[in-house]
Amino acid sequence: MAKHTIYTESPGDGQHDQGADWQNGDIAFLKGTEDFNQADYDALIESGYLHQGATRHPVIILEHSKDYKHFLITTVSAYCSSKENDFLPPWKQSIHRKKSQRDFRAFNGSEKPISRKDYLELVDGQSFPKFKTSWVYTPVSYVVPSSVLSEFDKTIVRLRMDQMSLKSLLWDMKRHRGFAFRWKNDNVLRMLGKRLPTNKGPVSIQASASSLASDSKPATPKPSKPAMTWAAVARSPYSRPRSPSPQPMQRSHPQNPARFVTLRPSKSQAVQA
């Protein structure tokens, strides 16, 4: 058996299971859910970890656990591309419009998402049966038990990726944040029989109303109105005596001395007064 390349310090102990002879880069087949046993169905499908649409697809073996009982895989899919839609790549289809074009990689024979990216290659000139519609979506990978994998029987020999292409694909997959936790996902840890990490998260401290009041800045009291003093009254303009109004002048009537005529001052005289 050829030497296996381990790309990660995967969990698990034990010797190589002779019944699971998958190598990194091999093309396997992810069985349909009708062929899953109950434990695998609950761990993968019922838990929501593995999308059911990923089943019944050829998959690439990316990494493996130390005991070779669990494998990190990613699917190779046509994404509804066919002769009927002129082999339209997924990033040009409305159903996949939320997927970024730069997150796809193409096998030789399929349309490239980015021209500067090399094709993914298989060894010895091998190719997929659907060589015009074989793409990998790099943000997605799953850890699965060997019991849900079988031979991809659409070719006479087992397909295998070129090692340089495999490293290039893994490099692109590592750009995504979730890839760093591929073996540390809670669903994966349960599948591996590992203890889940205790994560209590930040402690939330809610202060009581009394402590919030004591910690808050005291309100500044409004200044009270100063008491009115006699000195203030004396300074008030309203306390000053008014100038007496000019009294009207009187003189006797020239024809009737007993009669007096009141002479009112002019405006200029009133102002001078």
147-186 residue pLDDT tens: 999 999 999 999 999 999 999 999 999 999 999 999 999 9
Task: Give the pLDDT mean for 29-48.
Answer: 97
Burial of 135 (0-12, 13-18, 19+ CB in 10 A): buried
Q: What angle do CA 190, 172, 76 make, to 5 degrees?
A: 70
Give yes or no for residue 71 having a pLDDT over 80.
yes
Question: Does domain 27-191 sit in CATH 3.10.129?
Answer: yes
Query: What amino acid is encoded at 110 in this protein?
Result: S
What is the average pLDDT value for the chain, to the nearest integer? 79
Distance CA 105, CA 227 (A): 87
Residue 75: which of 41, 51, 43 has the closest Cα? 51
pLDDT bracket for residue 195 (50, 70, 90): confident
Contact assessment for residue 141 and residue 73, using Cβ atoms and an 8 Å cutoff: yes
Amino acid symbol at 240: R
Backbone angles phi, psi at 169, to 5 degrees: -65, -45
Distance CA 242, CA 75 (A): 104
Q: In angstroms, rounded to a whole number, what is the distance separating the alpha carbons of residues 83 and 8? A: 39
- Residue 126: which of 150, 149, 108, 151 has the closest Cα? 108
Name beta bridge partners: 71: 64, 144
Q: What is the pLDDT of residues 110-153, one digit of tens each?
A: 999 999 999 999 999 999 999 999 999 999 999 999 999 999 99
Q: Map out the domains of the chain as residue ranges.
A: 27-191
The confidence score (pLDDT) of residue 222 equals 53
- For residue 247, is pLDDT > 80? no
pLDDT at 216 over 60: no
Q: What per-residue confidence (pLDDT) applies to 196?
A: 84
Say if residue 19's pLDDT is above 50: no
- Contact 161/27 with Cβ under 8 angstroms? yes
pLDDT grade for 249, boundaries at 50, 70 and 90: low
108 confidence band (pLDDT: 50, 70, 90): very high
Helix (H), strand (E), coil (C) string for the chain: CCCCCCCCCCCCCCCCCCCCCCCCCEEEEECCHHHCCHHHHHHHHHCCCCCHHHCCEEEEEEEECCCCCEEEEEECECCCCCHHHCCCCHHHCHHHCCCCHHHEEEECCCCCCCCCCCCECEHHHCCCCCCCCCEEECCCCEEEEHHHEEECCCCCCCCEECHHHHHHHHHHHCCCHHHHHCCCCHHHHHHCCCCCCCCCCCCCCCCCHHHHHHHCCCCCCCCCCCCCCHHHHHHCHHHCCCCCCCCCEEEECCCCCCCEEEECCCHHHHHHC
Which pTM value belongs to this model?
A: 0.67
Residues 234-254 have a mean pLDDT of 56
